[in-house]
Amino acid sequence: MIWLKGIGRVVLWLLSAAALCALAVGTLLAVPVSAPPPLESIRAGAMAIDRSGMPDIARFQARDGSWLAFRAYPAANGDTKRIAIVIHGSAGHSTTMNEVAKRLAADNFLVIVPDLRGHGASGTRGDVAYDGQLDDDLDDLVAELRRQYLVGKFALLGFSSGGGFALREATGKLSSAFNRVVLLSPYLGYDAPSTRAAGNAPTWANPDIPRWRALLLLHRLGLPCCEALPVIAFAVAPGSEKFVTTRYSYRLIANFGPPLDLTAAVQRLKTPTAIVVGGADELMLPDKYADIFRGVEPAVDVHIVSGLNHMDMLHAPAALDAISAAIAGK
């Protein structure tokens, strides 16, 4: 009988612990995500982008049956053998890359600018179905382009968080798909040497750390529930919800951005790569990129465009010139 009482106490303790854990996790999940005040430099930069000459949205079918949006900019010389895939930044969509895409098209690239799933006209705004779905979508887009144009290799350019995502793809399963990578003011993680520390930079994104940790705990325990909940909000202008993605779910933020292990990814990077960043970037530390990629072969060229901030890189003539040279390997 004594051993039965002992088992009873253990069971009671386990039930109590489980109840406390459930209560704690429930409390963390209930904390709402709050957006930071609008960031004027981002808003002004987005407004400065010329939207003229932007192609209509086209669509391709991903493996889950969804039809995802992209814009195709024909090469000035009609060539379809040099294709550049251009990835927008966080909260953005294909429209924001219009001036970059037009410049590359003038350089005789066929330019493809997708609305990544969870953005613009692709999928549910602010969410994906699972971590890794964006990787699968890009794989499906590359396959569709190969089917249409019989192209073996592509250039890949990504801006800000899209730059981190481009590095993820260039060092992951799709690494062999690209013969040139350009990282435009890339976000390489909150703890990367190139990212300005909180408190020393304007606030673009406000993460809900308690909710994030709770969902991470559940994920590691093999209980991936509630991962559609938003965990981060962006400093977008009021009333812009119709045009931009204001919040990301746990599984979208886990997928859209840099590799989880930046150091290991950099060591795997074998595709010729260049970084282009503004010298006055208010979110990044331009002179730190060279340190991150030091020793990589082939060497990663870092071009700092004097006087330009984060969003200037999407429309300023000096930035477009630098991007043109970088993707050409000059």
Does the residue 295 lie in any domain? yes
pLDDT over 70 at 308, yes or no: yes
DSSP code per residue over 116-162: -TTBTTBSSTT--SSTTHHHHHHHHHHHHHHHHH----EEEEEETHH
Supply 194's token pair.
Answer: 């190139």
What is residue 6's three-state secondary structure?
helix
Does the residue 240 lie in any domain? yes
pLDDT band per the 50, 70, 90 thresholds, residue 28 = low
Does the residue 1 lie in any domain? no
- Residues shown for the chain: 330
Contact predicate 52/315, CB 8 Å: no
> Who contacts 237 (Cβ-Cβ below 8 Å, separation ≥6)?
38, 43
Secondary structure element (H or E) that encloses residue 319, with its range: helix 317-327
Does the residue 202 lie in any domain? yes
Does the residue 21 lie in any domain? no
pLDDT band per the 50, 70, 90 thresholds, residue 25 = low
Whole-number average pLDDT of the chain: 91
The pLDDT of residue 31: 64
The pLDDT of residue 242: 86
pLDDT over 70 at 30, yes or no: no
> Who contacts 260 (Cβ-Cβ below 8 Å, separation ≥6)?
none
The whole-number average pLDDT for the span 81-109 is: 98
Contact predicate 285/194, CB 8 Å: yes
pLDDT band per the 50, 70, 90 thresholds, residue 7 = low
The pLDDT of residue 100: 98
Does the residue 238 lie in any domain? yes
114-149 confidence digits (pLDDT tens) = 999 999 999 999 999 999 999 999 999 999 999 999
The pLDDT of residue 199: 83
What is residue 206's three-state secondary structure?
strand
* pTM of this structure: 0.91
Cα 200 to the chain's mean position, in Å? 22
Number of domains forming the structure of the chain: 1
pLDDT band per the 50, 70, 90 thresholds, residue 14 = very low
> Who contacts 7 (Cβ-Cβ below 8 Å, separation ≥6)?
none
> What Rg do the C-alpha atoms of the chain give, in angstroms?
22
DSSP 107: T
Contact predicate 162/257, CB 8 Å: no
The CATH number of the domain holding residue 150 is 3.40.50.1820
148-202 confidence digits (pLDDT tens) = 999 999 999 999 999 999 999 999 999 999 999 999 999 999 999 999 998 888 9
Does the residue 24 lie in any domain? no
The whole-number average pLDDT for the span 289-294 is: 97
DSSP 300: P
Residue type, 330: K
Residue type, 304: I
CA distance 134 to 251: 10
The pLDDT of residue 216: 86
The whole-number average pLDDT for the span 275-295 is: 97
Backbone phi, psi, residue 326, to 5°: -65, -40
The pLDDT of residue 27: 52
pLDDT over 60 at 95, yes or no: yes
The pLDDT of residue 102: 98
CA distance 325 to 242: 35
The whole-number average pLDDT for the span 216-222 is: 86
Among residues of the chain, what percentage have pLDDT more than 90? 80
Does the residue 30 lie in any domain? no
**Which residue segment(s) compose the domain that 239 sits in?**
40-327
